Structure 1
Amino acid sequence: MAYFIGLMSGTSMDAIDAAALDLRDNACRLVACHSHPIPYPLGERLQRLIRSETFNVRELGSLDVELGRLFADAVKQLLREHTLTPGDITAIGSHGQTVFHAPDDDPPFTLQIGDPNSIAQLTGITTVADLRRRDMAAGGQGAPLATAFHDRYFRSGKHNRVILNIGGIANITVLAADQDTSVFGFDTGPGNCLLDNWIQQHRDERFDRDGAWGAGGTVNNALLFRLLADPYLAAPPPKSTGREHFNLHWLQQHSLDDSPQNIQATLTQLTVESIAAAIEAHAPHTDELFICGGGAYNSHLVRSLEQRLGRISIATTSELGIAPDWVEAAAFAWLAQQTLENRPGNLPDVTGASEAVILGGVYAGHLDGQ
């Protein structure tokens, strides 16, 4: 066996997604998966670090190692649950936890933590990490990176497809049925990040389950209009964004003279409208939309997208063979394979990089493979 494991920690910072993939013979088969909880105190420290204007270097260094150890625990638990050994795994692809993403700064930079040295040492498995910065060094945004994986495994010769990932930030990959048409994609704007932060602030809940709280409110159209006027949403791709831009501080710069529940309803519609506008502007011939990420389980959000997009068929990536929870982790498993085979992992048409490049650094596992 020669499996690859992908590790992904998203904006909610409540769990690490670990997925083992069989990528032999140009196939993509999900072999095993595990969701590893991030202890609440550690998640709170990460949130404080991300919200702070200036990083505490000691705290940053400590969290980097602690998170790396937790990533290693996630791998070891995945192996135990599915009767696998380190020798069954060729490599781990670890996204890490983004603590800052600033592609438009001078100089641009992006920072993910989760020490890959600790992952490789504690698991004994070769680890590929720091996968965004080489694209940025080549003039790209460093994001989105999953588009190349979507192109490899989700493209259809019959239908114009869009893969929509609704994580903290939403992004789309546009896959034309014409195989000669280049794939492209970009971050459309907020996904779950504002919804999660708002309900945490007002109801002390981690997320809006099924979108029920937002569904019970009334959209404030005046506020929605102001939010949709944000320059990022109208900017042409390539582009990427993050919580550094779309956060509660950004939200509170607008007049919020309404009930918290109505604002939650409005934030839901903000996600819907920004996604729909991006598809209408850049993928007008879309036949099929497949959703992955945590937002796939927000039934109110999905229904609102269906109503807004009308003729487009909407389903989750389960229909394409990988459940919404595991697509991002699977993508980073595949990116690890690309790196070890000296193949590029970025798509310059997507990220804006000057060329296709081999991504990430390689941290060797134990010499005996055990």
Structure 2
Amino acid sequence: MTNTEPTPNDSTLDDLQELESALSETLFDNFDTGYYIGMMSGTSLDGMDAVICQFDESDNEKIIATHTKPFPEYLRDTLLALCQPNGITNLSHPVKNIILEQQPHSELEWFGWASREYAEFASTVVNELLQQSGISADDILAIGCHGQTVRHRPKLGFSLQLVDPNVIAERTGISVVTDFRRRDMAVGGQGAPLAPAFHLALFADATQSDKDLIVVNLGGIANITVLPAKQADKVIGYDTGPANILLDAWYQDHHPDSTTLYDDAGQWAQSGTVNSELLTQFMAHPYFGQSAPKSTGREEFNLGWLTQQLEQFSLETKQTVDAASVQATLTQLTSQSLCEAIQIETDRLSLQPGNLIVCGGGAYNPNLIAQIAKQLPEWQVATSQEFGVSPTWVEAMAFAWLARQTIMGQAGNLPAVTGASKDVVLGQVCFA
């Protein structure tokens, strides 16, 4: 039998290769500069932030739209309980859409239920963001959704983020990138912090001065990113200790009827007095003496730990510290642990103090910012707003950028920050 199929000549092959190359370039240009959604709820658990971002070839960002939505109380309570070992023993309320006889009865069942419920809530946030912005889901290349960290145990080699990306992909029609930590951990890293790589991209222009730059994120946990002037390969970063995680927990415990979940502008803390002996006891926590790379969370700093510390302090000193003064001391704990870490790095790396850029919810606490500025007089303390980005949206933007890195097949970690043995592409993709 004679083969009647045409054999492509060299000219045809060249044409096909050119077409394939052109299509590939167009596709990846679109991935590079298209719209991405970033989502973040963080350790504070006050709500979920979402942004639509667009990046150019030089990683310069443009925020297209933003949205934030408080967690429903039943979901927030569940997430808080899952953040602590055996925390589900405190969950007695019936949850949405589940009759009492079908309530989860173990930590694993609560985790499974909450993963789906978190995803349903995240989908609502995305769809509201799209509706408010007038942008179609078809115009979004991917969603970067970190999920909710409920157990971070880098010494044991794992970190658990609660979210079901399949639900988000189905409800929104958009591909979802999630599970950002574990690939870094697979190559020996802590899986955290993840933001420094984005900070490097975001503030690249600011690092071209002759002064060094430090980015401080004051979320539930405080962390720093040290960006040495004109030395992108020397970036370091790590969690310095608690920030809003203890301040918010203590405030909520003493203001159950408050319409806010936090000490607005640090006013309650300012009504108290810092107890230096209690502060010394807090600072004796072993985490503060650990060397980087390191990361922490609710596993180490939580209301139970704080209550235990106060009981120990009362027994040993025969003193009782009023609630407002505990809040004042916790504020000092955040600022002192942060500033001591910055001073250590300043001395160790012979930094030339320049801008100290603050983002996260703590950027709106003037009492805390004033304490930081007082302890670091050589640094120019300012919020990220002065550099063109609202402190509220920096973390959510980071996950839009990380999703873009994943889709582009580019590394999203910094080994010098996490302790990983190499650069790796982070995240798993759930295609719509």
Are positions 1:245 and 2:304 aligned together?
Answer: no
Aligned equivalent of 1:222: 277
Preserved contact between residue 86 and residue 107 of structure 2 (Cα < 8 Å): no
- The aligned runs of 1:192-211 (5 Å cut-off) are 192-204=244-256, 205=258, 206-211=261-266
Q: Following the alignment from structure 1 to structure 2, what is the Cα–Cα distance between the partners of residues 231 and 99?
A: 21
Aligned equivalent of 2:342: 279
**RMSD in angstroms over aligned alpha carbons?**
1.3
Task: Identify the structure with the greater helix proportion.
Answer: 2
Are positions 1:124 and 2:187 aligned together?
Answer: no
1:178 aligned to 206, 218, 230, which one? 230
> Per-residue deviation at 1:14?
2.4
Q: Following the alignment from structure 1 to structure 2, what is the Cα–Cα distance between the partners of residues 302 and 116?
A: 37
1:290 aligned to 357, 361, 374, which one? 357
Aligned equivalent of 2:425: 358
Q: Following the alignment from structure 1 to structure 2, what is the Cα–Cα distance between the partners of residues 222 and 228?
A: 10
SS in 2 for 1:267: helix
Are positions 1:34 and 2:97 aligned together?
Answer: no
**After alignment, is 325-334 or 54-63 more displaced?**
54-63
Are positions 1:317 and 2:384 aligned together?
Answer: yes
- Once the two structures are superposed, what CA deviation does each residue of 1:177-199 show, in whole Å capped at 9, x if it has no partner? 13255111000000111111111
The one-letter code sitting in structure 2 at the alignment partner of 1:90 is: L
**After alignment, is 152-161 or 210-219 more displaced?**
152-161
Unaligned runs of 5+ in 2: 1-32, 88-105, 315-319
1:147 aligned to 188, 191, 196, which one? 196
Aligned equivalent of 1:91: 142
> Per-residue deviation at 1:249?
2.2
Q: Following the alignment from structure 1 to structure 2, what is the Cα–Cα distance between the partners of residues 50 and 352?
A: 24
> Per-residue deviation at 1:283?
2.9
Does 1 or 2 have the higher relative contact order (CA < 8 Å, sep 6+)? 1
> Per-residue deviation at 1:304?
1.1
Q: Following the alignment from structure 1 to structure 2, what is the Cα–Cα distance between the partners of residues 312 and 46?
A: 37
Aligned equivalent of 1:82: 133
> Per-residue deviation at 1:58?
1.4
Aligned equivalent of 2:333: 270
Q: Following the alignment from structure 2 to structure 1, what is the Cα–Cα distance between the partners of residues 86 and 121?
A: 26
SS in 1 for 2:208: coil
Preserved contact between residue 7 and residue 19 of structure 1 (Cα < 8 Å): yes
- Once the two structures are superposed, what CA deviation does each residue of 1:43-79 show, in whole Å capped at 9, x if it has no partner? 1121122234276221111110010011111111111
Q: Following the alignment from structure 2 to structure 1, what is the Cα–Cα distance between the partners of residues 124 and 303?
A: 32
Change (3 A) 1:178 1:24: closer
The one-letter code sitting in structure 1 at the alignment partner of 2:158 is: F
Aligned equivalent of 1:58: 109
The one-letter code sitting in structure 2 at the alignment partner of 1:29 is: K
Preserved contact between residue 7 and residue 92 of structure 1 (Cα < 8 Å): yes
Aligned equivalent of 2:324: 261
Aligned equivalent of 2:410: 343
Preserved contact between residue 186 and residue 238 of structure 1 (Cα < 8 Å): yes
**After alignment, is 7-16 or 169-178 more displaced?**
7-16
SS in 2 for 1:355: coil
Preserved contact between residue 14 and residue 40 of structure 1 (Cα < 8 Å): no
Unaligned runs of 5+ in 1: 366-370
Preserved contact between residue 200 and residue 232 of structure 2 (Cα < 8 Å): no
**After alignment, is 79-88 or 42-51 more displaced?**
42-51
Aligned equivalent of 2:45: 13
Q: Following the alignment from structure 2 to structure 1, what is the Cα–Cα distance between the partners of residues 233 and 424?
A: 20
For normalisation by structure 2, the TM-score amounts to 0.82
Preserved contact between residue 174 and residue 283 of structure 1 (Cα < 8 Å): no
- Once the two structures are superposed, what CA deviation does each residue of 1:266-321 show, in whole Å capped at 9, x if it has no partner? 00000000000000001342311111111111111111111111121111111222
| Divergent runs of 4+, >6 A | none
Preserved contact between residue 5 and residue 91 of structure 1 (Cα < 8 Å): yes
Aligned equivalent of 2:154: 103
Sequence identity percentage: 46
> Per-residue deviation at 1:333?
0.4
Preserved contact between residue 43 and residue 297 of structure 2 (Cα < 8 Å): no
Q: Following the alignment from structure 1 to structure 2, what is the Cα–Cα distance between the partners of residues 184 and 11?
A: 22
For normalisation by structure 1, the TM-score amounts to 0.95
Preserved contact between residue 7 and residue 329 of structure 1 (Cα < 8 Å): yes
Aligned equivalent of 1:328: 395
Q: Following the alignment from structure 2 to structure 1, what is the Cα–Cα distance between the partners of residues 118 and 377?
A: 42
Change (3 A) 1:259 1:339: same
Preserved contact between residue 174 and residue 183 of structure 1 (Cα < 8 Å): yes
Preserved contact between residue 217 and residue 262 of structure 1 (Cα < 8 Å): yes
